[in-house]
């Protein structure tokens, strides 16, 4: 499609997808770009093991017209390929680091031994290769991988060290759900970025960027600025991954059309749910199916959270937050004129056993804290500065869990192998934190004593905990004991994680 006619039919003018209220001196905004679809990495079989080669590298990317941006990527300049695994496969990952600095690669949401998890202890030094091997032992779903270097996760993910993982199993292969990757099964890695005038990314530039988490004014989807997508089938599955450092999206369609949620983080819901809003916090994933058979153009947008949302910040943080979250466009959707037929979705997607409270071995309490004192306000560093030092320099003013900030040398929790536990996460702050646990998937028992909505009734690994909320999750620690290799739990707002809202547990 020629750009001119596309713009005419969309009626967008030249604003592109920059958020309103923030202007762009560089000019040149207003072009639309076809949505990039990350390549698929399906592995190479050698014997009974599938091998996956991942090279972390630096590069230059073109997001904005006429400007190039220094970036990080995996097997490319920015972000990485979509890794496809099958349940039951034995896999060997070969992660080569050519970044010029240390990093790690963590398989978010995957059930793997702690030594293979890619957390802060599995550092891949510059010039070296890390070769974890594990078996894929989980249900189908949408997962992701990203850098997890201690105190540097936010910066490295922001530069581009992230990608999607798709796991297939018997159930997903046999279900009549759109599943042709790049055709009717579309990854949407949604991120926000700020640019300097020379095209380089701008990262932390004020204390607020750490306190609220880092919000930016330009939306990228799969690394595409102002993207458009042309459906060729009546139904399309979108695999959403909120890969942003801090921004929570409230996805909707500009004509308010309804869509169906199929899954949350760890896999299918029992049945798909019809809805018109999807609130996704950093780290969370969700597959939906949208019907485009009316052929009408429509935009995927993000709306401010409803005024009664439990996830809205409170007090003085609310105004700052609202300034960060106007309505904006995410993806222009322009169906082609002859859409291929799609099958009806199945009535039931999976059978879901709810974990119950019987036979619980232990209840652990976790309180999320953040110091709001003025002591935090000093010591700002320029754009691109590291996160942690900014707060550490000013003494108190850290993010914490149970009053402690992350310390690589401290194991916060020790969990006996075979335990079934309830974790009670209490949010003692004025804003929502998406709480993430490594090792496996959990179920949400309740929020402030109320059972979770149908949207959260599947396996999850990241759960929103609103200000003042207490969320109880339940999970089993059935395997992968290792007294020397901890797993992490943390807030997935990366600036919070980098500044201490993280802890470690071992399974023994």
- Applying CB under 6 A, the residues found at the interface with ligand C2O are 106, 108, 146, 148, 283, 436, 438, 488, 490, 492
What whole-number distance in Å separates Cα of residue 364 and Cα of residue 271? 31
The backbone region for 114, taken as left when phi is positive above 0, alpha when psi lies in -120 to 50, beta otherwise, is alpha
What whole-number distance in Å separates Cα of residue 403 and Cα of residue 470? 16
Q: Residue 374 Cβ, how far from ligand C2O at the closest point, in Å?
A: 30
Q: Residue 436 Cβ, how far from ligand C2O at the closest point, in Å?
A: 5
- Render 255-314 in DSSP notation, one character per residue: T---EEEEEETTEEEEEEEEES-EEE-TT-EEEEEEE-TT---EEEEE-PPPTT-TTS--
Q: Which is nearer to ligand C2O, 345 or 493 (CB)?
A: 493
CB neighbourhood size of 47 (10 A) = 7
Residue of minimal CB distance from ligand C2O? 108
User: How does DSSP classify residue 418?
Assistant: T
Tell me which of Cu ion, ligand C2O, none is bound by residue 493, counting a contact when its beta carbon lies within the kind-specific cut-off of 5 to 8 angstroms.
Answer: Cu ion
User: Among 480, 481, 478, 452, which residue's Cα sits nearest to residue 466?
Assistant: 452
Tell me which of Cu ion, ligand C2O, none is bound by residue 491, counting a contact when its beta carbon lies within the kind-specific cut-off of 5 to 8 angstroms.
Answer: Cu ion
Q: Which residue of 91, 161, 312, 491 would you call a contact of Cu ion, by CB under 5 A?
A: 491
User: Among 20, 167, 32, which residue's Cα sits nearest to residue 89?
Assistant: 167
Tell me which of ligand C2O, Cu ion, none is bound by residue 496, counting a contact when its beta carbon lies within the kind-specific cut-off of 5 to 8 angstroms.
Answer: Cu ion
Q: Which stretch binds Cu ion (CB under 5 A): 79-87, 204-212, 301-309, 427-435?
A: 427-435
Q: Which is nearer to Cu ion, 111 or 194 (CB)?
A: 111
Query: Counting contacts by CB under 5 A, is residue 493 touching Cu ion?
Result: yes
Tell me which of Cu ion, ligand C2O, none is bound by residue 433, counting a contact when its beta carbon lies within the kind-specific cut-off of 5 to 8 angstroms.
Answer: Cu ion
Query: Counting contacts by CB under 5 A, is residue 285 touching Cu ion?
Result: no
16 Cα distance to chain centroid: 24
User: How does DSSP classify residue 357?
Assistant: S
CB 447 within 8 A of CB 310: yes
- Give the x-and-dash track for 86-115 against Cu ion (CB under 5 A): ----------------------x-------
User: Among 18, 91, 96, which residue's Cα sits nearest to residue 55?
Assistant: 96
Tokens standing for residue 96: 């080569």
Q: Which is nearer to ligand C2O, 457 or 490 (CB)?
A: 490
297 Cα distance to chain centroid: 27
| 3-state secondary structure at position 370 | strand
Q: Which stretch binds Cu ion (CB under 5 A): 1-9, 169-177, 248-256, 426-434?
A: 426-434
Q: Which residue of 152, 235, 260, 433 would you call a contact of Cu ion, by CB under 5 A?
A: 433
User: How does DSSP classify residue 409?
Assistant: T
Q: Which is nearer to ligand C2O, 132 or 283 (CB)?
A: 283
Tell me which of Cu ion, ligand C2O, none is bound by residue 388, counting a contact when its beta carbon lies within the kind-specific cut-off of 5 to 8 angstroms.
Answer: none
Place of tokens 């976790």: 366
Q: Residue 319 Cβ, how far from ligand C2O at the closest point, in Å?
A: 29
User: Among 375, 315, 333, 365, which residue's Cα sits nearest to residue 470?
Assistant: 365
Q: Which is nearer to ligand C2O, 266 or 335 (CB)?
A: 266
Query: Counting contacts by CB under 5 A, is residue 460 touching Cu ion?
Result: no
Q: Which is nearer to ligand C2O, 349 or 488 (CB)?
A: 488
Backbone angles phi, psi at 494, to 5 degrees: -65, -30
Q: Which is nearer to Cu ion, 239 or 433 (CB)?
A: 433
What whole-number distance in Å separates Cα of residue 44 and Cα of residue 37? 21
Q: Residue 143 Cβ, how far from ligand C2O at the closest point, in Å?
A: 9
Q: Which stretch binds Cu ion (CB under 5 A): 377-385, 416-424, 463-471, 484-492?
A: 484-492
Interacting residues with Cu ion (CB under 5 A): 108, 433, 438, 491, 493, 496
């Amino acid at each position: 499609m020629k750009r001119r006619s596309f713009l005419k039919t969309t009626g967008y003018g030249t604003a592109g997808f920059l958020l309103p209220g923030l202007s762009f001196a560089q000019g040149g905004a207003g072009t639309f770009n076809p949505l990039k679809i990350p390549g698929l990495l399906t592995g190479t079989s050698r014997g009974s093991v599938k091998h996956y080669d991942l090279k972390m590298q630096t590069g230059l990317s073109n997001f904005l017209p006429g400007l190039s941006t220094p970036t990080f990527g995996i097997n490319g300049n920015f972000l990485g390929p979509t890794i496809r695994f099958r349940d039951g496969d034995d896999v060997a990952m070969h992660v080569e680091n050519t970044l010029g600095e240390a990093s790690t690669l963590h398989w978010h949401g995957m059930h793997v031994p702690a030594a293979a998890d890619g957390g802060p202890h599995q550092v891949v030094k510059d010039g070296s290769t890390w070769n974890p091997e594990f078996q894929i032992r989980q249900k189908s779903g949408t997962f992701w991988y990203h850098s997890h270097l201690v105190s540097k996760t936010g910066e490295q993910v922001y530069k581009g060290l992230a990608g999607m993982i798709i796991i297939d199993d018997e159930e997903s292969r046999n279900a009549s759900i759109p599943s042709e990757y790049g055709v009717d099964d579309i990854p949407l890695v949604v991120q926000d970025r700020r640019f300097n005038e020379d095209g380089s990314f701008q990262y932390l530039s004020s204390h607020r960027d750490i306190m609220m988490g880092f919000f930016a004014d330009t939306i990228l989807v799969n690394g595409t600025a102002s993207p458009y997508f042309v459906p060729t089938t009546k139904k399309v599955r979108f695999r959403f991954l909120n890969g942003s450092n801090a921004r929570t999206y409230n996805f909707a369609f500009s004509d308010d059309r309804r869509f169906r949620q199929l899954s949350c983080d760890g896999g299918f819901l029992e049945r798909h749910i019809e809805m018109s809003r999807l609130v996704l916090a950093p780290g969370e994933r969700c597959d939906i199916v949208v019907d485009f058979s009316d052929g009408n153009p429509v935009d995927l947008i993000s709306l401010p959270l409803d005024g009664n949302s439990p996830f809205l910040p409170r007090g003085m943080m609310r105004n700052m937050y609202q300034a960060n979250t106007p309505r904006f466009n995410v993806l222009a959707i322009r169906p082609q004129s002859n859409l291929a037929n799609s099958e009806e979705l199945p009535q039931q997607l999976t059978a879901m056993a709810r974990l119950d409270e019987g036979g619980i071995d232990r209840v652990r309490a976790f309180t999320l804290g953040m110091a709001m004192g003025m002591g935090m306000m000093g010591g700002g560093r320029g754009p691109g500065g590291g996160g942690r030092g900014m707060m550490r320099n000013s003494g108190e003013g850290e993010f914490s869990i149970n009053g402690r900030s992350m310390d690589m040398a401290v194991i916060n929790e020790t969990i006996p192998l075979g335990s079934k536990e309830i974790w009670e996460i209490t949010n003692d702050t004025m804003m929502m934190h998406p709480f993430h646990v490594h090792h496996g998937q959990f179920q949400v028992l309740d929020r402030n004593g109320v059972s979770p909505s149908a949207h959260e009734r599947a396996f999850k690994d990241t759960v929103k905990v609103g200000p003042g909320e207490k969320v109880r999750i339940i999970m089993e620690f059935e395997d992968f004991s290792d007294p020397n290799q901890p797993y992490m739990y943390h807030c997935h707002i990366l600036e919070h994680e980098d500044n201490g809202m993280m802890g470690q547990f071992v399974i023994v």
